[in-house]
Structure 1
């Protein structure tokens, strides 16, 4: 009888349709060929963007990836890798819940019980939230220039309401446009909630509620948190400490000139976040010749002529996780 195989096929198709509908915000690149198993981690790699972030704006043929060239390189080197979409602008908790839902979908799709979370900027605390509420689903958390102790620019923007109020309205328009351009217009955006979450005070409240020993006790360049916490989860971080790195990268140069001048103090920073706020778990390096956009190979791979290749850094880190059995 062919009834049982038929029912099984129908159930599989039903599950696929259901997951496709709910997991449409997840981007996975399947390469035409695999060149090596160098980045083939035990558990899937899940990438989470920061403030004003996205997975892809536009179509595959005519669009721009946030993790420019990083996702396909990891896939070509054997990794199961997914780029998630969370609200470009919102509180850490809301973004964290959105990420958790996508983690559940990835676990269902891959059959793997855990994932390796990579978070850039606000994606760092967003990943920390998932670890706190669902530690059994997380193998490791890696923060790339993560706002683990808050952001000075958020403090300064909130201090001056005459500036914060109109800017928040503009930010919401930009965030909504990004959500629309990446094909997920229902993602809610709230610039004020985003800034409050990223402020020093907001982050301190968050860290008290969703505590992890991977986060250092204070924002100090020489201070680092635990690599492996009591729940068995591994933690890593790295960041850059440059601002303007390539004059041909016009958007990058403009932002890296204005933001530090108006909203940042004299401390070492990558143009958006101070180096000390990015320290988390095992600090791989905190002095790469990158600014906040170079760290994810933006914009379109333009960076300092002799700076480290961010694509290679992600590949090497995937291999690091692989060697740890993660």
Structure 2
């Protein structure tokens, strides 16, 4: 039976660091967008900088929200942001709550990422390693941008890294606290300034054998290797973001057996057994529909 996920407002899928909407025939959110459309939702993927800070990307998102509103005749949009895309969506909702019906954080570093903290410490500010890393990463982001058919967006790798550290996100949260929990690991207010806030995320299982076929996914191995740099949430992270750091608004669940890249429905995730990350988006669209959003 086909599920009805025809939300009242259009859905925008907001990508995170190194993300993109489309390169050639490959779409980052292809499976998610197709599943949502099959369920009746109107879905758009904005074109944002692959590397930049949250406010710059947020301003880009605001511009594209206006285009969607003009094109569809809708008065608001539902924002679903993956990883840094959650912070981008939060900025847009805080600045223009009249244009946003809901913000959903999927594996979003809403209190910063311990991995970003480690990388920031490893790159001495103003010294050669930082300059080399910035050049290489920015060139890579520019390369991704040249493959896209969309208008070029500026790139700034170090600004992106700084914006994802615990310190950087802490400063961001001081300005845009909407939906944040009052206590570590808790839930935030479901609605602020007329905007509904939700979140979900996953964690790595205790050992690779517990992942079954998922362990064959090279991206999963990459996430598991990165998880070693977590201290505070050493046993509770998805390889890039800590479980409790991801909490925002109504926490649907933060311990799905999914790594950071699984929650975007990346292609190799087809090896996955157990929870279907694509289905989580369809279920959430139904949740938004039932809430009148």
Q: Are 2:52 and 2:159, in contact at CA under 8 Å, matched by a contact in 1?
A: yes
CA distance in 2, matches of 1:165, 1:260: 25
| Matched residue, 1:13 | none
Q: Does 1:134 align with 2:96?
A: yes
Q: How does 1:115-264 map to 2 (within 5 A)?
A: 115-162=77-124, 163-184=129-150, 186-212=152-178, 214-218=179-183, 220-221=184-185, 223-229=186-192, 231-242=193-204, 245=211, 246-250=214-218, 252-261=219-228, 263-264=229-230
Paired residues, what number? 281
Q: Are 1:140 and 1:234, in contact at CA under 8 Å, matched by a contact in 2?
A: yes
Unaligned 5+ runs, structure 1:
1-34
CA distance in 2, matches of 1:193, 1:273: 18
CA displacement 1:253-295 (0-9 Å, x = unmatched) = 342143223x322241001100011000000001111000110
Q: Are 1:249 and 1:299, in contact at CA under 8 Å, matched by a contact in 2?
A: no
Deviates more, 1:177-186 or 1:70-79: 177-186
1:85 to 47, 60, 66: 47
The Cα of 1:208 is off from its aligned counterpart by 1.1
Q: Are 1:289 and 1:304, in contact at CA under 8 Å, matched by a contact in 2?
A: no
Q: Are 1:95 and 1:126, in contact at CA under 8 Å, matched by a contact in 2?
A: yes
| Matched residue, 2:292 | 325
| Matched residue, 2:9 | 43
CA displacement 1:194-250 (0-9 Å, x = unmatched) = 0111111111111111231x11135x22x1101112x12111000000176523322
Q: Structure 1 171/258 Cα, relative in aligned 2: closer, same or farther at 3 Å?
A: farther
2:281 to 311, 314, 323: 314
Q: Does 1:290 align with 2:244?
A: no
Q: Does 1:109 align with 2:71?
A: yes
Q: Which has the larger radius of gyration?
A: 1
Unaligned 5+ runs, structure 2:
none
When normalised by structure 1's length, the TM-score is: 0.82
| Structure with greater contact order relative to length (CA < 8 Å, sep ≥ 6) | 2
Q: Are 1:68 and 1:296, in contact at CA under 8 Å, matched by a contact in 2?
A: no
| Matched residue, 1:11 | none
Q: Structure 1 142/303 Cα, relative in aligned 2: closer, same or farther at 3 Å?
A: farther
1:275 to 243, 256, 264: 243
Q: Are 2:10 and 2:76, in contact at CA under 8 Å, matched by a contact in 1?
A: yes
Deviates more, 1:175-184 or 1:128-137: 175-184
When normalised by structure 2's length, the TM-score is: 0.90
